[in-house]
Amino acid sequence: MKIAFPSQENLGLESPIYGHFGTAGYFVVIDSTTGQYEIHANSDQIHEHGGCRPLAALGGKPVDAVVVGGIGQGALKKLNSSGIKVYRAAEGTISENLELIQSGKLPEYTSMMTCAGHGAECTH
């Protein structure tokens, strides 16, 4: 399974998970079977709130899942409609969250868990 993890820092698997999918600087895409990973710059980093194009952000790289601290409802729906599952990350590094998703300990995002904005109403 290929899993994308957004990060603001380019530190490979030791990068901290970033809290906002659309504005992440990078995506670390890991093949959970082989452990190999690639780092891609966010191709859609600059956009208005609600205007995220998640498949463009991933640079067209095919993934099966995304693990992120926070995501808007529109981006969640677009990823889910493309067959991509989205999981809510725990605080920590990408490697720590990789272990958590592989052990089934990360919840899958629902529309009730999404970010409604980057002000006081943001819950992540």
| 56-115 residue pLDDT tens | 778 888 999 999 998 888 889 989 999 999 999 999 999 999 999 999 999 999 877 776
Give the percent of the chain with pLDDT over 90: 60
Helical residues (DSSP H) of 29-118, grouped into ranges = 54-57, 73-81, 94-102
Rounded Cα gap, residues 63 and 49, in angstroms: 23
CB atoms within 10 A of CB 108: 11
Domain ranges for the chain:
2-113
Q: Domain 2-113 classified CATH 3.30.420.130?
A: yes
Amino acid at 24: A
